[in-house]
Structure 1
Amino acid sequence: MRQFSSLAARALRRSTAPKPQTPSAGPKPHKRSSAPKPKPKPHPSSSPPSPVPDTPVPVPAPGPPAPAPMPTRPWEEALDAAQRAFCLPLAGRVLAAAGTGNAAVSPAGVHAALSLAAAGARGATRRQMLATLGCGGGGRGAAADAANVASRVVKRVLKDRAKSGGPRLAFACGVWADASTKLSTEFVEAAGGLYSSVAKTADFKDKPEDAAEQINSWVNKSTKQTITSLLPDGLIDQNTGLVLGSALYFRGRWLDKADTGKTAEEKFYCLDGTSVVVPFVEYDRTRLFAVHDGFKVIKLPYKQGNNERKFSMYIFLPDAHDGLFELTKKIFSEPAFLEQHLPTEKCHVGIGVPKFTISFQIDMKDFLKDMTLELPFLRDADFKDMVSEDDSGEPLFVSDVLHKVILEVNDNEIEEASMKKTIGKPLPRDQFTADHPFFFVIREEVSSAVVFMGHVLDPSSQS
């Protein structure tokens, strides 16, 4: 892991400087007589003798560079703290502000982008960013915790392994500065190596439209054409500072083919009392299922690939057709509520879930400010660890924290099997039909990382 803090960078330079030579010891002198020797008289015409140089004092060679700071706790523990302190509060604010539309957010993706930026921050700016990310007091150990969580999530959880049979997952993350900025080599390399992201420059001041196109093209390429753009028109101008961005695409198939199920057109009842007719996937299975006071929860596992990841969708369905916001208020106001109400018992359940696609894009800046993260957005923010020592440009500050999610719940395998029948199978004991607004979580089970949170208010609309 490359250490790119200013302290480690200076230590690295010290370790590569030429070592001073320690003078070698000469032959041992003979023991002098105790009788004093007469001093020679100087010749009148001779010049005064040169002073005898002092014996050089050996200078110890510099030691090795300071070791990279170690995380203060296991990454699973740090991840749990980050999800409680950062991911849940952020998702709650975003979904509450989404109004009457469908919405989805990836707290893990936003966490990765902010952790990357925090790696280039110093002083109070860094301390505030790390505290917001749930990493404690902001020391070097806290910075290592944030980097450790972000690195493991992007490499283990958000990396696409669809070829092995798992969900299709595309992730792009980066930080962009104006072309006048000279980014630090250490920071650029850490962005690519540690965070699987990029740190780049673009000409914000003179060619803002070209800069936006450059960023959008990179996102399109990095997500393999699943997300074609991240920056809205007109976002970049000559006053733009740093732009942070994260984009995620997800599509999975359910664990097994619904060979006893069907795809049918059914009514979905919206919050305003109207209804829309949309395709539903209907089948029965033994699944983890829970009935609580006022709502039900079911776990729908996705088909897994040949790796350690295991994704599942949890759907929280209120009993009342208009009960979604009351339910999500409970979920986000109590940090332990979500974990405490996940299902733990298996039941034979009749399942009905609408097919839907969500495309959701938002600037996180105002939500982060509401979470008391303010210093990175000020003109006197300190991002000196992001730039080279000889950078003479203007001080950096964050202008925007852009985030985009495209999520597809549309399993074609179920359509292919919709005509099959099974005779003699017992009827399900319980029924779970998501025919009115619901909240969902997509989680990676091995790490417990919450990849997506969202709600569906109208499955006939993408937004």
Structure 2
Amino acid sequence: MKNLQTILSLSVIAAFLLAGCAPAGQSPEPTQPEEPTQPSTEAQDLIGEVAYNPNPRAELDQIKALAEAHNTFALDLYQQLAGEGENIFYSPYSIYMALLMTYAGAAGDTASQMESTLHLPYPQEEIHAVMNALNQQLKANSLVDDEPVFTLNIVNQLWGQAGYAFLPEFLNTLSQHYAAGLKTVDFAADHEAARELINLWVEAQTNEKIKDLIPAGALNELTRLVITNAVYFKAAWLSPFDPANTKNGSFTLLDGSQVEVPMMHQSGSMRAYVSQDVQAVELPYEGGTYSMVALMPTAASLDAFEQALTAESLQGILDQLDRASVTLSMPKFKFEAAFGLNDALKALGMTATFDPLQANFSRMNGTTDLYITSALHKAYVDVNEEGTEAAAATAVVVGLTSAPSQSYTITLDHPFLFLIRDNDTGTLLFLGRMADPR
């Protein structure tokens, strides 16, 4: 039985309503002259009047421009999360999509701050179609001859207060570009039951790997909307490691102490880059369209390397990857990471969204009495040796016709960064730091 590498990530953003929280004299932004949707008080599923568009109109250069903006946000966020413990793992793509769905309801300074934080290259009326197109491109890149070679599921769901008025334009945007429906729940009468329902949905979308994403106390009777996004990724190495070669080896922790951990070993043709500053190696997944890249600083400390890391400098390293004969050693690892993102997003410029006196989400409901109280993210990663027989066979097909000119020995026995990306658009789906494989 084959044990595939599995990566799971889910992020959630919750927007709360506080009655009378807007400053005196403040009026909402003008909205479209349409009647808000009034759900019934019984639980039901609602969708916008506009069906999901599986073929959004967007040019390839627009898709890549958005992917570049997303990657800039991803590295900005990494700088904020770098101090959150030793091991770090998150999906900037999941967070970005959840924020974009929230942005669909933003106006005024709230929208402007979100545009700046997310580095949005296109205005509100265009960005959601481009995001839909990027999403479709990522899913298409998980197929070969229209057949999936690995699992990539990206799912969105809204949870709204039963009987609360949401503008049809807001619901239409999310249904048309994010395939996101709205399930009504009764936060006001039983917010704990609503929390349990949302957490059950999270478990179902992540094969029960992520539980209790929303902790007790995060929701209350004033909650009006929770926006969730889940990304599930399951793939085999294109060239799997042989479990028979996995042996205990030494790994140096951040404090300089050493521990014995299972180290995987593999030799062969890989894309790699070695300089006086960094060692980098790329490990493609089955199909060759997605890959993991591991980066270990060789000269500066990990802290100094991270502080200098930007989307541009990371891309500079990735651009240097080239075919080489590589002898690779790296640890097996598996861990879960959870973050509250409020402080990180505020530090990146999204201050109004969390302030009940400044937040303007009038494009959601026609008023300014909604604000974000919690932005939560949880992720799980499991890296091991094995793949599938098809992956091993495919590796032969893409092998070189001549020997690489470079030869490297890369041993990831110190803390290193790792990322999972779509090679076509360059989108960083996941980003992490492995500091302690135990």
Q: TM-score band (shorter)?
A: 0.7 to 0.9
Q: Distance in 1 between matches of 2:417 and 2:141?
A: 25
- Which residue of 1 is the match for residue 313 of structure 2? 337
- The residue type equivalent to 2:317 in the other structure is H
- Which residue of 2 is the match for residue 92 of structure 1? 79
- Which residue of 2 is the match for residue 147 of structure 1? 128
- Which residue of 2 is the match for residue 435 of structure 1? 413
TM-score by length of 2: 0.75
Deviation at 1:150, TM superposition (A): 2.7
Deviation at 1:258, TM superposition (A): 4.2
Give deviations 1:203-261, integer Å, cap 9, x for gaps.
22331211111111222223343433421222112344544443434332211244697
Deviation at 1:180, TM superposition (A): 4.8
Deviation at 1:292, TM superposition (A): 1.9
Q: Distance in 2 between matches of 1:228 and 1:168?
A: 21
Task: Tell me the secondary structure at the aligned position of residue 213 of structure 1.
Answer: helix
- Cα–Cα, structure 1 residues 149 and 266, in superposed 2: closer, same or farther, change >3 Å? farther
- The residue type equivalent to 1:227 in the other structure is I
- Answer 1 or 2: higher relative contact order, Cα 8 Å, separation at least 6: 2
- Which residue of 1 is the match for residue 211 of structure 2? 228
Q: Distance in 1 between matches of 2:179 and 2:211?
A: 19
* Aligned residues of 2:417 and 2:433 also touching (Cα < 8 A): yes
- Which residue of 2 is the match for residue 188 of structure 1? 171
The answer to whether residue 193 in structure 2 is matched with residue 210 in structure 1 is: yes
User: Superposition pairs for residues 40-439 of structure 1, below 5 Å?
Assistant: 74-84=62-72, 86-94=73-81, 96-100=82-86, 102-135=87-120, 141-157=122-138, 164=147, 166-240=149-223, 242-258=225-241, 262-304=245-287, 310-319=289-298, 323-332=301-310, 335-342=311-318, 343-380=320-357, 381-387=359-365, 395-413=369-387, 429-439=407-417
Deviation at 1:402, TM superposition (A): 1.5
* Aligned residues of 2:91 and 2:379 also touching (Cα < 8 A): yes
Q: Distance in 2 between matches of 1:127 and 1:327?
A: 31
Give deviations 1:281-338, integer Å, cap 9, x for gaps.
201011111112222111111112xxxx811111111226x82222111113xx4100
Of the structure 1 ranges 193-202 and 256-265, higher mean CA displacement relative to structure 2 is found in: 256-265
* Percent of residue pairs identical: 28
- Cα–Cα, structure 1 residues 249 and 111, in superposed 2: closer, same or farther, change >3 Å? same
Give deviations 1:12-36, integer Å, cap 9, x for gaps.
99xxxxxxxxxxxxxxxxxxxxxxx
Query: Which is greater in Rg?
Result: 1
Task: Tell me the secondary structure at the aligned position of residue 132 of structure 2.
Answer: helix
- Which residue of 1 is the match for residue 51 of structure 2? none
Deviation at 1:456, TM superposition (A): 0.4
Q: Distance in 2 between matches of 1:190 and 1:131?
A: 21
Task: Give the strand-richer structure, 1 or 2.
Answer: 2
- The residue type equivalent to 1:373 in the other structure is M
Structure 1 regions of 5+ residues with no counterpart?
1-5, 14-68, 418-424
Give deviations 1:392-444, integer Å, cap 9, x for gaps.
x9821111112121122123239999xxxxxxx99x93211111210111110
How many residues of Structure 1 are paired with residues of Structure 2 in the alignment? 375
- The residue type equivalent to 2:409 in the other structure is Q
* Aligned residues of 2:110 and 2:350 also touching (Cα < 8 A): no
TM-score by length of 1: 0.71
